[in-house]
Structure 1
Amino acid sequence: MNRLDVEFLAEGSRCKAWLYLPKTKKPAPVIVMAHGLGSTRVMRLGAYAERFRDLGYACLVFDYRHFGDSEGEPRQLLDVNKQLQDWKAAIAFARTRTDVDTDKVVLWGTSFSGGHVIATAADDQRVAAVISQCPFTDGMASSMAVPPLTSIKVTIRALTDKLGSWFGAAPVTIALAGKPGSTAMMSAADCEQGYLQLVPDAAAKQFPNYVAARIALQILTYFPGRKTPQLNCPTLFCVCETDTVAPAKATLRHARRAPRGQIKIYKEGHFDIYLGDSFERTIGDQIDFLQRTVPLN
């Protein structure tokens, strides 16, 4: 109920999205949402959007190009600049709607997109608020958290993929989440089970747990956390204390530089925050933040 299938163009390609609309006669503030590294909207984003909608907020939940239901070839191609363009296109689309309050656009990101929303809001001074959950803020910190041997194997595959792309070769892929010691983007002890538990049972057999390996080269030089001083809107940072993917120390260092930043710290790890009691605590804090900073009319 109250969820529409919509789409918008990002550099000529269609991005598919869900638009959740609350039962209200007035246009509601809209929360633009997308997932993290290689993830899609079916991986628990609906659980957040439904809670926000039930409070009276609209939500636009989209898949990036090359992922999920959105267009883009080759599939599973993750590019930082393309995803940032997708965020801009999603926000522009939200601002064309007459059924939402276009003066109250909130950005919600998690993990890799937790960094994207920081970078996007820093460049868009009209954004009303930001929620950045277990955010990727510092490429060097995330890379240093990977064991050296794994890092070498990942880099070799990334370089092979990048070189092949110059000659039109098909992407060389790498697992998104794998067991410790495996050649995967995320291979800490909690990553494989934690990541894959977000995939719905109905999609588990077909879920592509891989991505074009070249993204590993971009991650090393991506530092969205450096833009926190440029955020002029209220920003909530939900930080996982034992995060193996986006180390909390670096995240907190960046978060404390946000002029209107608010920080909540959770004892759980990176993937715990999406489920169970941790999810309830986290979304409770996010709801409180929304009601204080972007109140309903």
Structure 2
Amino acid sequence: MRADISFKTTDGLTLKGWLFTPQNGADSHPAIVMAHGFTAVKEQYLDRYAETFARQGFAVLVYDNRNFGASEGLPRQEADPLLQVRDYRDAITYVSSLENIDASRIGIWGSSYSGGHVLQVAAFDRRVKCVSAQVPAISGSADVRMAVRPDLMPGLVEAFEADRAARYAGDHPLLMEVVNEDPKSDCALPGQDSYDYFIDSHHSVAPAWRNEVTLKSIELLNEYEPAYAIDRISPTPLQIIVAQKDTVTVPDLALKAYERALQPKHLVLLDCGHFDPYLSEFEASSSAAVEWFKRHL
């Protein structure tokens, strides 16, 4: 069963999403908290994962990140990773307060940008008893360097500085496209696979998604290193799902981060690209997460 929910963050925003409740008759359920990746909204296939987890006996809290989708927050379309990490922790507090939730059995799931967030959350929040990070962001600076040609980086840094000055003066944040079909365009996520995923899902299931993001979001991404404390996640069980043909989050960085993680840990390798776990490889990606959560929650 799916119900619309909302909860407050510690800085006063209302984040909106869904609570999926299993129909197994139990009085108390383990819970999984999940949010989407860079600029994405919950309708972009997170309901498929939540429904699968709920059928296996888990309550699942799915919500839109601040500044995106149905959730509050300004500037709109700004992805601040550190604030999103804090929101995960507020979501854990909220779901733990519900009467039918076993607060001693809380898991977190994240994918892409939020796959990096859950590494951060699990490293420091011991309320988390199990974590699954799918195609996770490991190093924001590495991802930016992969997306932006070296000769264009000085111009991008100049744009960051100009945007900061303009915002300080009271101007509106500078926006850029998330995806564009032209491989030479100055968009946040270049590449045909990114364009196909976002545009196709926008037309089919996620009309609330917007093809724009603040330039500051790219600056914040460039400063974000979510896996620096991956060795602190232990003894919380950690699963990392890596897409070996990923061109958005660098797979070799995920494999190196996995090597730094301590036990218990579990690596899943999928022979696909970054967005395939939501679609053609959904059965493989969701089954791996289900098995991990069932084992440890």
Who is 2:20 aligned against? 20
Q: 1:264 aligns with which of 268, 276, 279?
A: 268
Report matched runs for 1:1-297 at 5 Å: 2-10=1-9, 11-23=11-23, 24-146=25-147, 147-149=149-151, 151=153, 154-178=156-180, 179-199=182-202, 201=204, 203-204=206-207, 207-232=209-234, 233-259=236-262, 260-276=264-280, 278-294=281-297
> Is 1:150–1:181's contact at 8 Å kept on the other side of the alignment?
no
Give the aligned CA root-mean-square deviation in angstroms: 1.6
> Is 2:44–2:205's contact at 8 Å kept on the other side of the alignment?
no
Judged with a 3 Å threshold, the aligned counterparts in structure 2 of structure 1 residues 157 and 190 are, in CA distance, closer, same or farther, namely: farther
- Render the CA deviation track for 1:8-60: whole Å, top value 9, x for unaligned: 11111100121101112221110000000011111100000000001110000
Give the Å deviation of 1:247: 0.5
Specify the SS of the correspondent of 2:201: coil
> Is 2:40–2:209's contact at 8 Å kept on the other side of the alignment?
no
The residue identity in structure 2 corresponding to 1:118 is: L
Q: Give the Cα–Cα distance (whole angstroms) in 1 for the partners of residues 154 and 257 of structure 2.
A: 27
Q: Give the Cα–Cα distance (whole angstroms) in 2 for the partners of residues 268 and 229 of structure 1.
A: 27
Q: Give the Cα–Cα distance (whole angstroms) in 1 for the partners of residues 196 and 100 of structure 2.
A: 39
* Identity %, equivalent residues: 30
Q: TM-score, normalised by structure 2?
A: 0.93
Specify the SS of the correspondent of 2:141: helix
Specify the SS of the correspondent of 1:128: strand
> Is 1:108–1:117's contact at 8 Å kept on the other side of the alignment?
yes
Runs of 5+ unmatched residues, structure 2: none
Matched length: 291
Q: Give the Cα–Cα distance (whole angstroms) in 1 for the partners of residues 279 and 174 of structure 2.
A: 32
Give the Å deviation of 1:254: 0.7
Specify the SS of the correspondent of 1:256: helix
Specify the SS of the correspondent of 2:228: helix
